[in-house]
Amino acid sequence: MSHHDERTFVMVKPDGVQRGLIGDVVSRLEDKGLKMVGGKFMQIDEDLAHEHYAEHEDKPFFDGLVEFITSGPVFAMVWEGADATRQVRQMMGATDAQEAAPGTIRGDYGNDLGHNLIHGSDHEDEGANEREISLFFDEDELVDWDLGTSQWVY
Ligand code: RTP
Ligand code: MG
């Protein structure tokens, strides 16, 4: 990881998995030049959902949010690149998919506020990226590799 690079946590939510959009989301991040350094297809249990969304515990939508995020498998990922957290948030678009700009992932594919396809660490919440990465991944599940050194692709 070069000194200006940052890692961020990204997840295709159950609605995105069910609609077959894992590949599209991955493609967009690859096309942007970000680098995947971790990924796993998994089922989030109640405990992990509560921990991941702890900041929303007191909100009226919390129970529905936990129910949704545990309702089917997700694809959890770690992506690396310059300013990766902010870049991914920009590509995701607004939380409410109906308000998200065309060209953003939520704007192009998302249905509504609750079902918005993708999660990305909050860039305004200092350390959220590292916190979420360690919640979902062990250090040995992350791969340090260099996009620029393949001898097979040129
Ligand atoms: P996320 O954490 O899932 O990436 O989304 P976000 O940062 O854009 O939005 P956040 O404020 O963190 O909210 C987390 C998720 O809760 C659902 N939500 N429902 N019913 C409501 O008023 C409401 N507000 C938020 C959304 O699914 C949002 O992604
Ligand atoms: Mg959030």
Question: Which protein residue has the closest C-alpha to ligand 1 atom 13?
Answer: 95
Tell me, what amino acid is at 48?
L
CATH number at residue 14: 3.30.70.141
Q: Which residues are annotated as a binding site?
A: 13, 61, 89, 95, 106, 116
Structural domain tally of the chain? 1
Over residues 67-107, the pLDDT tens digits come to: 999 999 999 999 999 999 999 999 999 999 999 999 999 99
Domain membership of residue 149 (yes or no) is no
Question: Which protein residue has the closest C-alpha to ligand 1 atom 11?
Answer: 95
Q: How confident is the model at residue 2 (pLDDT cuts 50, 70, 90)?
A: low
Enter the ipTM.
0.92
Cα–Cα distance between 61 and 116 in angstroms, integer? 14
Strand partners, 75: 12, 41
Does 120 contact ligand 1 (Cβ within 6 A)? yes
Burial label for 114, CB within 10 Å (0-12, 13-18, 19+), is middle
pTM to 2 decimals? 0.94
